Amino acid sequence: MEKVWSILKRQKYRIVGEHSAVKICHWTKKSLTEGRVCYKQRFYGIESHRCLQMTPSVAWCTHKCLFCWRPVEYNEEIPSKYDDPETIIEGCIEAQRELLSGYHGFLEKVDINKLKEAEDPTNVAISLAGEPTLYPDISGLIDGFKKRNFSTFLVTNGTTPEVLASMDTYPDNLYITLPAPTKDTYERVCNPQIKKGWENLNESLELLPKIKTKRRILRLTLVKDFNMADIDEYSKLIEKANPDFIEAKAYMFVGYSRKRLEVENMPMFDDIVEFSKELEEKSGYKIVDSAPESRVVLLSRD
């Protein structure tokens, strides 16, 4: 565990407790220093500078995806004992404040009012690394954030449908990552560490329409020359999941993914637009917005 902790700290993660982590998002930094915002602010109205990017399972995952920025070779077993939600939440908020403290030394470049607000986040993105639904009390974690009046985003890879089916509290924005249109492509791109990863993902897609929450979103992480074909097959999976929104987003050539992929595998924004136009034709969803700087296109069924 010390090896992965050392790597994550070099990547500017702040470790919280035994298995959680926080990292200041690129767009939080841009909002503070340049007034630019994340596509989640553009699409869903959250404030980029007040977003807490965290995970309760930084080294636990059922995948070893080619496109993951984490050092996936250091996946850890889930321990029998784990931190309670309140400990994680308090630790993550404090870690965010500590990470932001350095910005007080650059006030000529930083909006001081935004910085003060950033120290009291109002949105949590439970998506930083690992598979968050492997944390045994994910409902309690979401509930704890909601009691603090946070808006909540949860991103899952869909391999734990039994968790999705039994949660007591759901996030405001529930994402399932759809990384491939077929089983063969899924196994090539995601390197599942469980026997029925593809079957579990499909079970989660079937569950999605039944989950009552504010927004249900499919995230298509697109890697050039790997998973940007078979749009008819993507459309069948989308029909099964019936999400409110689809985000077609480019893989970004960052972190440890650079050891597995080439920069040429990162789609340009034009590639994402072209893919989305084809998906629009096949799926019945319509392009409603985009964020070129993040190489993402938003599609909606309405």
The count of residues in the chain is: 302
Is 65 marked as binding a ligand?
yes
- The chain-wide mean pLDDT, for the chain, equals 91
68 is in an annotated binding site: yes
Q: Which residue has the higher pLDDT, 200 or 258?
A: 200
CA distance 36 to 26: 10
Contacts of 42 (CB under 8 A, 6+ apart): 289, 291
| Residue 92, marked binder | no
Class of domain 2-300: alpha beta
User: Distance between CA atoms of 128 and 132, rounded to whole angstroms?
Assistant: 9
Helix (H) or strand (E) holding 236: helix 231-241
Q: E strands within 23-137?
A: 51-55, 123-126
What's the token pair of residue 134? 């492997």
- What's the pLDDT band for 73 if we cut at 50, 70, 90? low
Q: Tell me if 38 is assigned to a ligand binding site.
A: yes
Global confidence as pTM = 0.91
Asked if the model's pLDDT at residue 105 lies above 80, the reply is: no
pLDDT at 27 (0 to 100): 86
Tell me the CA distances in angstroms from 282 to 65, 88, 236, 279, one per residue in order. 27, 43, 9, 5
Token digits for 172? 């405001």
Q: What is the pLDDT of residues 144-176, one digit of tens each?
A: 999 999 999 999 999 999 999 999 999 999 999
Going by DSSP bridges, is the β-strand pair 173-177/151-156 parallel, antiparallel, or unpaired?
parallel
pLDDT in tens, 230-258: 999 999 999 999 999 999 999 999 877 88
